[in-house]
Amino acid sequence: MSKLSAEDKAELQSLLKQLLRSINDRIADAESTECAEEILLHLEETDKNFHNYEFVRCLRQYVESSLGTVVEEETKSLTRGDGQHGIGSGLDTLIHGVIQSTRDSTEYQQMMQNLKNTMTLVVESLINKFEEDQMRKEEMLREKQQSQSNSQYTDNCSDSDSSFNQSYAFIRQEQLQVLADKLDSSRPKEMRWEALQALCCVNPADVLSCECWSSLRRNLSAALTDPDLSDDVLQFFAKSFSSSPLNVTREIYTSLAKSVEASFMSQKRSFPTGSATIDINRPEISRLLKQIRLMNDFQKEVTTFWIRHPEKYMEEVIESTLYLLSFHHEHTSDPPATDKVLKPIHLLALLDIKATWFKKWMHGCYSRTVVLRLLDRKYKSLVVAALQQCIHYSESCKRSSDETTDPQSAEQQSVGSVQRSVYTGKELEYAVFVHSLCVLGKLLIYSNGRKLFPIRMRERKDPVSLTDLVVILINIMYQHPKPTHIDASDTDSLSPSCLVMEVLWMICERTECAADCLYPTPVIETLLAPLIALLNGQQTKLKFPAATLTLIADILARIASTDRGLALFLYEKNLVVADSERTFPAHVVVQLTLRLLENELSTINESDRTHSLCGAFIFVCRQIYNTCEGLQVLQPYGLHKAIAAAWKKSSSLSERVPTPVPGATSATCTQELQDMLIWEETLLDSLLNFAVTPKGLMLLQQTGAINDCVSFMFSRFTKKLQVSRCEKFGYGVMVTQVAATAPGIEALHSSGFVQALAVELWSVLECGREDVAVVHPKPTPMDPIDGSCLKSFLSFVNLLSSSRSVWELLGHQPLANKSEYTLREVPTSIPDLIDRLIAVNSDAKIQSLFHYEQSHTFGLRLLSVLCSNLDSFLLLESQYYICSMLLKSQGENVPELDTDDGEFIIDNLSVERNHVLVRVSVVGGPSERKLPPRALQEGEDPYPWPMFSKYPLPYCYTLNPTKNHQNSLDSEISTFPPLSKDLKNEENWMEICRRQYSKAMTSKPNILTGNVLADLLEKVVAHLSYSSTECFFPPAQYKEEKSVTSVVLSSVEQLGINTCLRYGRDLKLLTDNAVNDSTLLMKHIKIFLSTQKVKTASKLFTHQDGYPGHDWLSSTVFLIMAGDMNRSLGLLLNLSSLLTSAFIWPARIDASVHFPVEVADSGIPPLYWCTAHYVEMLLKAEVPLVHSVFRMSGFTPSQMCLHWLTQCFWNYLDWTEICHYISTCVVMGPDYQVYMCVSILKHLQPDILQLTQSQELQVFLKEDPIRGFEVGDYLPFMEELERRYRHLVLTNMKTIRNSVQ
């Protein structure tokens, strides 16, 4: 290398330059020169491409040529002998010896000297060339700057520009000290400029870590004030911001803030008011604008990393910012009246008009705490100034309210536009107003921000409170409800209405914030003042009534969608309507909505009475009436009728819109038709939302629009559209409510909803997700219901929860039972699914299933849930002989068909069948029957429960009933004197009876059983039926007919009687010959109830053949009377005249003549639209967690209560508790039925909350008994509910004979 030619040196120089370029990124990331040296020294360890670099290869070749001979000779000399260095540790010794000998050789010393000399020459040549290139670049840059000195303002200081697209020169501390000296303000400007150029080419990390940084920073800050140097300083600051940690950049930021402050302090700047303009391209303003722009960019980026540094650094940045923005002149003369002082906030507002920097600072608790603390202790003047801006703007709006033009429109559009350099004074003030409003809005949503209020102001006598501020904002919205220009653009978001609405929306989303800001009476009065004026026939002071009222409706809807806001609307009488008369907000809203629907507001121009305005207020009402308590308030207004009438009118008009013809203007016709269809859908959607509550569903059915509403819901459901902007969950609750009734399930069926669910189930169960080639086989499901099928399973559980739904879909519907099924044959109905998944009783059905065991297990699980409803089971058994089919399948599931040794093959299907057979064959509460588990257990006998293929079933599944105290002498109630018609103090007797009953139930509930309970019920029912005040229905006029024995009972009724007899024998209440008395009682009741039914024109299946199901109350009374037919009949006939019978005796009230014809035809029992409705209302108030869980799960408490009450809690409570349920409702009043259901759900709360997380809520409530519940334990809770709600619940129960309005 000592004899290298010029070409060799050039090549070596090129290879070295290539190496440096390859590792340029690593060197550029180095924080100092020492770090860069460390990177180069350890490059072989950290760079996997090290040995592929040409420079390294060249060095290796030179080393090999220089030392190859030396290494070979040393290796030979050391390996002479026996060769013991061949392996193991000896090899390491050999290598170490060769290296040591080579390094001591003269060849090595000569090679190193030549290499050093050569590389020194190469490096010096590179440095000289670099300095020449740098000087050339500086010259070109100087020429470029001079050529652009007269160009328009461009942003050269943004830290968004990459500072890594150029190489950095390493610099020593001495050189930095020289640069710092050259930057001194006393030096010539040319020298300072050159020093700045050199500084910009240095790695910022080296500059910021140098010893002379403090003096350098002072000189840089001084250079910021020089117009010719400020851009270069900002360029260096921008690079430093993007590549340095916060502990360094905070110093730059604070220096920049102090420089801006000094600029404002040294020269008082002003801008003209009104329409006069200010040019931001003026050098002094342009320079400040660039500096504030760089600060603002740093403000928005610093939040991403300042949490990794000590809080004091962050606090220093925040405080320097707040100090700068709180800038004001104190010792200078005021500007002329036509000018205003220009402050840093004006320029910051132009750059970041919506205060994005402040929103980011307030987002995280780490920085928000510091900001709010500093605002409270030192910089409250900033909040005062922002508040003053809003007040000033509001007052200016009021002053210009009589003008024909909108004073806001021009500045709002202008401020939002881009690429402008000239602004009027009004536009600048408007920008500050927008910035201030965004800052205040962010303060309001945090509790410590709200604590800054009330704020005292110089111009006002009283301090400005939170309520005052919100009222001011609402008044601003009233003056400018929308941008005046037609075309929507980005400037819409800068309109006063949009800005205020954004703030109000943020407030509405936070419960505590809304309570502090929106719920005070002055705010509600301000929001509803225009509505009250319209109702009173007065003119509103609104420029654009329709637009303003639409915005008001939006805010009211968001308030009403929360529990606290809804309570405010319903129960706080805080609005003055007229002549000091006060009313509730909900009444004002619904009255205005009705006026809008009926076009009765003469004070609003016809052009303003748009469908969108009416729809907006309907949406407010919708947030109210889709809750039980809200519907209770709005029902008297008949809003559902008004909406239905408007929908029918709109529907007829849309049909009459003429078809466009050639030559006519089709655009108008098309737009008119589109508007009409949107309005029609709005009305249908509003009607549909009545179905969220049980009583609301009844009102919807009465309008005659239920089929259209359900079809509309299905169309949105298939598109996966959101229910509304205020609804957090989907259509699950609505579908479940609708499916609980006969007309509802019929509407779902006719809309195609049931078919869609069936097809979807089949696709996930049998077909898989996609019909494509299978790359990976589907894993074998480990759970009986695979996760992919769980959603469909729960959908069918919700759909078929009510026995009325099952009867409507399956009544007189035979199974196909084909001899052959094609593989592409997809079930489209419930009977088809039962045929393919449940009644799998042939080889053809088995072979038609791709996943026989999984699919059949799914069907058996669904069958188990269906059979938990006794009326549904009776229909399935009477039509499809479910038990015989399951027994036959069990009999075939044996090791050998010809033997009868009682051995069964234990598999998933046989275990499921055994569980279903025991469930449907044994009746009883939690301590009266034992259901076999579905899972195997560990040990020698994995399934100890006996299986069976024929009746009777094994005795182990029936538990011994608890002993009843039938003849206890402790009961004071049994000693009551017999009642007589002439008893004068009959009301006093009933009160004594209730007190004694309550006392006995809470102390010794077991004595109220057997004969004691039977005597009590007889006496109480007889006493009440003889009282004219207690008789709700006409007394029973029933004479025993001789033809009673010829009455034919249906197969469902016969099965119900058999079920009753089995339960009675298991309880030791009936003898084997009780079948005749039970059958005779049912025949008597059937004749009596036939006289109580109205002939309906309904096409519902449940209205065709009498009551759909078994009369479980009659069977319960028969068991209470221990099989005495005469006592049972007498009790039931007397009970039929009482209000209680309408709720605890569903068969008695079905299609009753005592109801209006439209109610009797509806097919919806009062047990649903009255009892279940108030259960949901009280549950929300008393057990809110359970209510919320039901809402999230898509299941409803009303469906479960309807299930329990229809079958008198059979299979859910023990016999003693069933008797106490009946006696409590009879003695204490029918409203105790509601309190009973609420108590049970309260008792089940821990299980409900836990099982909802695993999506087992529906199955748990349907299949599991109610364990541990005793009526006596919860009677005090029920009595408390009576004291608080009887005036509401019982009063409404007494109105069931009236038309549902």
Split at pLDDT 50, 70, 90, the class of 255 is confident
For residue 658, pLDDT beyond 70: no
Average pLDDT over residues 535-554: 87
Sign of the CA dihedral with 334 first, then 337, 339, and 341 last = positive
What whole-number distance in Å separates Cα of residue 243 and Cα of residue 647? 64
* Strand, coil or helix: 170: coil
Split at pLDDT 50, 70, 90, the class of 834 is very high
What whole-number distance in Å separates Cα of residue 617 and Cα of residue 550? 8
**Looking at residue 816, what is its pLDDT?**
92
For residue 871, pLDDT beyond 60: yes
The 10 Å Cβ neighbour count of residue 402 is: 6
Structure tokens, 770: 């996609």
Per-residue pLDDT reduced to its tens digit, 437-487: 999 999 999 999 999 999 998 878 889 999 999 999 999 998 876 543 333
Percentage of residues of the chain with pLDDT beyond 90 = 48
Give Rg (Cα) of the chain: 44
Burial class (CB in 10 A: 0-12, 13-18, 19+), 629: buried
For residue 88, pLDDT beyond 60: no
What whole-number distance in Å separates Cα of residue 48 and Cα of residue 659? 76
Structure tokens, 699: 């009102």
Greater pLDDT, 986 or 182: 182
State yes or no: cis peptide before 952, omega within 30 of 0.
Answer: yes
CB 269, CB 342: distance < 8 Å: yes
Per-residue pLDDT reduced to its tens digit, 277-295: 777 888 888 888 999 999 9
**Looking at residue 732, what is its pLDDT?**
83
What whole-number distance in Å separates Cα of residue 395 and Cα of residue 737? 51
CB 380, CB 455: distance < 8 Å: yes
**Looking at residue 873, what is its pLDDT?**
97
**Looking at residue 899, what is its pLDDT?**
65
In terms of DSSP bridges, do strands 270-272 and 277-279 run parallel, antiparallel, or are they unpaired? unpaired
For residue 716, pLDDT beyond 50: yes
Helices 753-762, 787-799: axis angle to 10 degrees equals 150
Percentage of residues of the chain with pLDDT beyond 70 = 85
Instruction: Render the burial of 122-161: b for 16+ CB within 10 Å, e for the rest.
Output: beeeeeeeeeeeeeeeeeeeeeeeeeeeeeeeeeebebee
Contacts of residue 876, Cβ cutoff 8 Å, sequence gap at least 6: 806, 810, 834, 863, 866, 867, 882
Residue among 1024, 1009, 1028 at smallest CA distance from 979: 1024
Average pLDDT over residues 558-568: 93
For residue 1294, pLDDT beyond 50: yes
Split at pLDDT 50, 70, 90, the class of 531 is very high
Average pLDDT over residues 9-14: 77
What whole-number distance in Å separates Cα of residue 723 and Cα of residue 260? 52
**Looking at residue 659, what is its pLDDT?**
54
Residue among 982, 983, 933, 928 at smallest CA distance from 960: 928
Residue among 1209, 1184, 1247 at smallest CA distance from 563: 1184
**Looking at residue 402, what is its pLDDT?**
52
Split at pLDDT 50, 70, 90, the class of 1004 is confident
For residue 1160, pLDDT beyond 50: yes
For residue 8, pLDDT beyond 60: yes
State yes or no: cis peptide before 1197, omega within 30 of 0.
Answer: no
Greater pLDDT, 489 or 925: 925
For residue 1065, pLDDT beyond 60: yes
The least confident of 42-46, 499-503, 511-515, 1181-1185 is: 42-46
Average pLDDT over residues 527-549: 87
Contacts of residue 519, Cβ cutoff 8 Å, sequence gap at least 6: 559, 564, 565, 568
Sign of the CA dihedral with 562 first, then 691, 689, and 572 last = negative
The single-letter DSSP state of residue 1167 is I
Per-residue pLDDT reduced to its tens digit, 972-984: 444 433 334 444 4
The 10 Å Cβ neighbour count of residue 99 is: 12
Average pLDDT over residues 1235-1257: 95
The 10 Å Cβ neighbour count of residue 993 is: 19
**Looking at residue 82, what is its pLDDT?**
46
CB 1075, CB 1061: distance < 8 Å: yes
Burial class (CB in 10 A: 0-12, 13-18, 19+), 1176: buried
In the block, residue with structure tokens 């402790």: 970
Per-residue pLDDT reduced to its tens digit, 209-236: 777 877 888 888 888 888 888 888 888 8
- For residue 339, which phi and psi values (nearest 5 degrees)? -120, 160
Split at pLDDT 50, 70, 90, the class of 730 is low
For residue 1289, pLDDT beyond 50: yes
Q: Which amino acid is at 547?
A: A
**Looking at residue 823, what is its pLDDT?**
79
**Looking at residue 898, what is its pLDDT?**
63
The single-letter DSSP state of residue 972 is S
Residue among 809, 682, 814, 683 at smallest CA distance from 743: 809
- For residue 1151, which phi and psi values (nearest 5 degrees)? 50, 45
**Looking at residue 609, what is its pLDDT?**
62
For residue 524, pLDDT beyond 70: yes
Q: Which amino acid is at 917?
A: L
What whole-number distance in Å separates Cα of residue 1301 and Cα of residue 1155? 13
Per-residue pLDDT reduced to its tens digit, 381-393: 999 999 999 999 9
The single-letter DSSP state of residue 635 is G
Split at pLDDT 50, 70, 90, the class of 985 is low
Split at pLDDT 50, 70, 90, the class of 152 is very low
- For residue 830, which phi and psi values (nearest 5 degrees)? -65, -45
Per residue, the 3-state secondary structure of 535-575, as one string, reads: HCCCCCCCCCHHHHHHHHHHHHHHHHCCHHHHHHHHHCCCE
Q: Which amino acid is at 962?
A: T
Element (H, E) at 321: helix 311-325
The single-letter DSSP state of residue 340 is E
What whole-number distance in Å separates Cα of residue 767 and Cα of residue 753? 20
Residue among 941, 929, 1022, 931 at smallest CA distance from 978: 1022
**Looking at residue 799, what is its pLDDT?**
95
Half-sphere exposure of 1119 (CA within 13 A, CB side): 26
Residue among 156, 326, 139, 324 at smallest CA distance from 233: 156
Average pLDDT over residues 298-309: 89
Greater pLDDT, 1272 or 766: 1272
Split at pLDDT 50, 70, 90, the class of 1103 is confident
**Looking at residue 939, what is its pLDDT?**
82
Question: Which of 52-66, 385-399, 1268-1282 has the highest mean predicted lDDT (pLDDT)?
Answer: 1268-1282
- Ordered DSSP codes for 2-27: TT--HHHHHHHHHHHHHHHHHTHHHH
Q: Which amino acid is at 199?
A: L
For residue 272, pLDDT beyond 80: no
* Strand, coil or helix: 278: strand
Burial class (CB in 10 A: 0-12, 13-18, 19+), 355: buried
What whole-number distance in Å separates Cα of residue 949 and Cα of residue 1184? 47
Q: Which amino acid is at 94?
A: L
What whole-number distance in Å separates Cα of residue 280 and Cα of residue 292? 13
**Looking at residue 897, what is its pLDDT?**
67
For residue 1194, pLDDT beyond 70: yes
